[in-house]
Amino acid sequence: MIDSEGDRRAFFRETLGRLAREVAVRTERRVVVDQYFRPPGAIDEVSFLAKCTRCDACVDVCPANAIVKAPARAGLAAGTPFIEPRIQPCTVCIDIPCATACPTGALVPPPNRWDGYAMARLELHPERCIAFEGLECGICVRVCPVGDVAIAADDAGRPVIKAEGCVGCGVCVRACPTLPSSLELHLTER
């Protein structure tokens, strides 16, 4: 039972806050059909689309030229920055210039830079990986820009993903020699 006017206000504020978050999530699912692999520091997709002015600041400062603009067919996301890791992955710049350059807050540098931050979740498909067939490879381990905190080889030379250290940049996905790649990125919810 609600005893005072303050308790009643707190109850309604909390309830309306939960309702607003749920409406935002459902709206995102309905309005944003395609989810794009956003540059480091991207806020949730609906807020990102509202804040991004398509100014190209992040595109212009990306030293790897990994950030491109979504095509016109992307609907509400047209012209917004995204990364296609299979074509040109993020190279995990130490200073995260793309997020630092964003004037609107659509990209926000993670508080501890890359420590504990992930753009995506990496999944290994052992049935595709040649190292699981007894062949030498290790390309994914050698190309990882964050090193063995993200992916390492076990005693048999097979890759082992360390989710807590992987930033989900996609460098290993692009470098993997199997078709389709033995490694796959999945967008994480922000």
CB 141 within 8 A of CB 182: no
The torsion of the CA quartet 107, 172, 33, 117, rounded to 10 degrees, works out to -40
Domains along the chain? 36-117 (3.30.70), 120-187 (3.30.70.20)
Question: How many whole angstroms separate alpha carbon 154 and alpha carbon 47?
Answer: 41
Q: Which residue has the higher pLDDT, 130 or 34?
A: 130
Between 10-14, 70-74, 142-146, the lowest mean confidence (pLDDT) is in 10-14
- Please give the model's pTM, rounded to 2 decimal places: 0.75
> What secondary structure letter does DSSP report for 72?
G
- The average pLDDT across 102-114 equals 91
Beta bridge partners of 113: none
Got the DSSP string for 100-150? HH-SSSSB---TTTTTT--SEEEEE-TTT-GGGGT----HHHHH-TTGGGT
pLDDT at res. 11: 79
- The average pLDDT across 94-116 equals 92
